[in-house]
Amino acid sequence: MSGDINFDHNLQRCIAVDIRYVLLIIDKLGGCKHLVDEMTIVE
C-alpha cells in the first residue's frame, strides 16, 4: 500500500471488509439482487 511510504492521517483511510458481507448488503439491504445475479461467484 502507498501508505507504507507516506501516510497522512487526515487524508488516507484503509477500510477492510469481508466480501461476503458486502454481497449481503448489496442483495438484502440494498435491494439490488440483480447485481449479485450478474456475478460469477465461486465457492
Per-residue pLDDT of the chain (43 residues; tens, 9 = 90+): 555 667 677 777 778 899 889 989 998 888 888 988 898 888 8
What pLDDT was estimated at residue 2? 53
Residue with cell 445475479: 37
Is residue 24 assigned to a domain?
Answer: yes
Task: Confirm whether 12 is domain-assigned.
Answer: no
Which pLDDT score, from 0 to 100, does residue 18 have?
92
Q: Which amino acid is at 22?
A: V
Is the pTM value of this prediction over 0.75?
no
Q: Using CA atoms, how far apart are residues 25 and 2, in angstroms rounded to an integer?
A: 28
How many domains is the chain partitioned into structurally? 1
Can you give the residue range of the structural domain that contains 22? Answer: 17-43
Q: What per-residue confidence (pLDDT) applies to 15?
A: 80
The CA-based dihedral angle spanning residues 8, 10, 16, 19, taken in that order and rounded to the nearest 10 degrees: -120
pLDDT of residue 3: 52
